Amino acid sequence: MTNADKSTVPAGANHRGSAPSNVNPHVKKWVDEATKLCQPDNVYWCDGSPEEKKDLLARGVGEGVFIPLNQQKLPGCYLHRSNGNDVARSEQLTFICTPSEDQAGPTNNWMDVRQAYSKLKGLFSGAMKGRTLYVIPFVMGPLGSPLAKVGVEITDSVYVAVNMGIMTRMGEVAWKELARKGGDPDQPPEFTKCLHSVGDCNPERRYICHFPQDNTIISFGSGYGGNALLGKKCLALRIASYLGQQQEWMAEHMLLMGAQAPDGKKTYVAAAFPSACGKTNFAMLIPPEKYVKAGWRITTVGDDIVWMWVDKDGHLRAINPENGYFGVVPGTNYETNPNAMVCMARDSIYTNVALLPDGDVWWEGKTKEPPKQCIDWTGQEWTPDCGRKAAHPNSRFTAPVANNPVLDPAANDPDGVVVSAIIFGGRRSRTIPLVFQAFNWMHGVYLGASLGSETTAAATGQVGVVRRDPMAMLPFIGYNISDYLVHWFRMRKKMRDCPRIFHVNWFRKDDQGRFMWPGFGENMRVLKWIIDRSQGRAYAKETPIGWMPRYGDIDLDGLHMTKEQFEALQGLKIDDIKAEIAGQEELFLKLAGDLPKEMIFQRELLISRL
């Protein structure tokens, strides 16, 4: 027996950590090859049990990866401080690796598939010496769902092992799901190979590579969520978007929520907002009191990713492939998102927040008054006047969906839920009204495709500039964007009754720079209009950009908003819309000759309406 075959982590475990006797031979072969390449000191196969989680956390504490928090206040919660150079997704170091550049398209970084494998082989060779290699089997999607996908992640990070245990259905269940999918024992079963090493966490040697045609992800040099928890952005969006195009379904960067009306009728809505535009807040929205009293309830199916397919009745159905939340913490508090606060109050991992003297955590916006002192996210003493942020602007919590007090009962339903409305939204301080509805699916796809948003801290780069972010998927489309847009247009043909499509902007500001809409729970008012429109109940007037509520069509009772204020919030200036169309040019030029003709038609129609 070689050293690498022995599982010595965690000590004393009864067979825990060794390969299950019935592991699929194709999986075993791949793990053996990776082990040979990476040369770890130990190999540990995760089973997903609660005992294992405890052991992994204890091991992480021993390694200094996790700091236990105040267990009275935050039972089961730990703090992790990442390397200062590794605090967000690294889009410039993220690659789609295919035989030809054209398959990755003009919006992705491309690497030749053979060159990528050879470069990565060099980086991974011996990379896990002195470390433990964890084998993490996981399922994306409710068990037994037609869309559920199995992945196996190999990593040398205990932080990744624990977080994958929260974010996915991890462990034994994955082997069962793989067996359920069955197939010919001689044929490799469909599973995504995910190979990850933090390496030396050097941005010069950081590569997040996707091989859609091989259903493979290889990530080196980063421990950050989106770069390292490979089930999330890498599998559930980039690889899944490609699989979806091949297999006629859709993987989208969307939240999924249920809204139950006082009459008990529930409507499910999916919404695509770019990173850090409040998807988690919207998905966990608490309606204003009068709505709650009237009997409205909002429930969360997912806060970041949906997979959607057309069922045999021609309806668009959706599941959330994830089993946890990886949410942004700054700005979250008991007023802005009480449900998120409850989610992260137990069994959660905090990454890059500040540590209070009593073992509690803090971040900007958690309380009105900052603490007198704390340890900041880099581990240094912090006081309010020190001129630095206590928590990193992209600090995160990882929490199980089961903690969510408003988790939708269908969250684990393999058949998912029927989607009645799709909402696109961005962070736009000017030009774009609070809400409008697309004329039809094709127009809605154009709205989604030309979505723009002011950039935030979730990705590295400049903050505050309008970036075109088609369907909020720009960093996540695992193939050529032209084919992706064509796929969206074509999905219409498969549906008998398609969801209505809307555009929202919670972030419009007046000339004094003040937000014109209160946002948060009050977004319920907009949601109600959207639901009523989807059910054919509410009125709207036709405008050049779509259907819009008039003052009086949307419930503003209790908001003290005058007709003039509402009209300013919904106002359209033709010159601004023209400038907006010019702003879309950047994307249109990138797509150049490959722009789907439907996009050109929709733009021409818009111009003709102005």
Please give the residue ranges that form the binding site for ligand OXD (CB under 6 A). Answer: 89, 226, 275, 304, 326, 458
Choose the contact partner of 86 out of ligand OXD, Mn ion, none; CB within 5 to 8 A by kind: none
Nearer to Mn ion, 255 or 449 (CB): 255
Nearer to ligand OXD, 31 or 277 (CB): 277
State in angstroms the smallest separation of the CB of 162 from ligand OXD: 17
29-37, 274-282, 444-452, 588-596 -> range binding Mn ion (CB under 5 A): 274-282
Nearer to Mn ion, 325 or 479 (CB): 325
CB hemisphere CA count around 554 (13 angstroms): 29
79-87, 272-280, 374-382, 566-574 -> range binding Mn ion (CB under 5 A): 272-280
Choose the contact partner of 24 out of Mn ion, ligand OXD, none; CB within 5 to 8 A by kind: none
Which residues fall within 8 angstroms of residue 241, CB to CB, at 6 or more apart? 250, 251, 252, 473, 476, 477, 478, 479, 484
Residue 328 amino acid letter: V
State in angstroms the smallest separation of the CB of 284 from Mn ion: 15
Choose the contact partner of 226 out of Mn ion, ligand OXD, none; CB within 5 to 8 A by kind: ligand OXD
Nearer to ligand OXD, 310 or 353 (CB): 353
State in angstroms the smallest separation of the CB of 267 from ligand OXD: 24
3-state secondary structure 243-301: HHHHHCCEEECCEEEEEECCCCCEEEEEEECCCCCCHHHHHCCCCCHHHHHHCCEEEEE
Choose the contact partner of 98 out of ligand OXD, Mn ion, none; CB within 5 to 8 A by kind: none
Distances (CA, A) of 149 to 124, 153, 178, 582: 26, 13, 8, 41
Transcribe 123-178 into DSSP letters. HHTTTTTTSEEEEEEEEESSTT-TT-EEEEEEES-HHHHHHHHHHSEESHHHHHHH
State in angstroms the smallest separation of the CB of 304 from Mn ion: 4
State in angstroms the smallest separation of the CB of 91 from ligand OXD: 10
Nearer to ligand OXD, 146 or 365 (CB): 365
**590/402 Cα distance (integer angstroms):** 42
Residue number with the smallest Cβ distance to Mn ion: 304
Residue from 312, 524, 591, 546 nearest 441 by CA: 546
Residue 261 amino acid letter: A
**217/226 Cα distance (integer angstroms):** 12
Binding marks (x or -) toward Mn ion, 32..51, rule CB under 5 A? --------------------
Classify strands 306-310 and 316-319 as parallel, antiparallel or unpaired. antiparallel
CA 577 to chain centre: 30
Asked whether the beta carbons of 525 and 289 are under 8 A apart, the reply is: no
Nearer to ligand OXD, 175 or 326 (CB): 326
Which residues fall within 8 angstroms of residue 266, CB to CB, at 6 or more apart? 258, 259, 260
Choose the contact partner of 148 out of ligand OXD, Mn ion, none; CB within 5 to 8 A by kind: none
Annotated catalytic residue 194: no
41-49, 103-111, 192-200, 273-281 -> range binding Mn ion (CB under 5 A): 273-281
* Residue 304 binds Mn ion (CB under 5 A): yes
Nearer to Mn ion, 135 or 451 (CB): 451
Choose the contact partner of 455 out of Mn ion, ligand OXD, none; CB within 5 to 8 A by kind: none
Q: Work out the end-to-end distance of the chain between its first and last CA atoms, rounded to an integer number of angstroms.
A: 75
Burial group, residue 493, by CB count within 10 angstroms (0-12, 13-18, 19+)? exposed
State in angstroms the smallest separation of the CB of 451 from ligand OXD: 14
**Annotated catalytic residue within 38, 234, 277, 498:** 277
Active site residue ranges = 277
Give the residues lining the site for Mn ion (CB under 5 A): 275, 304
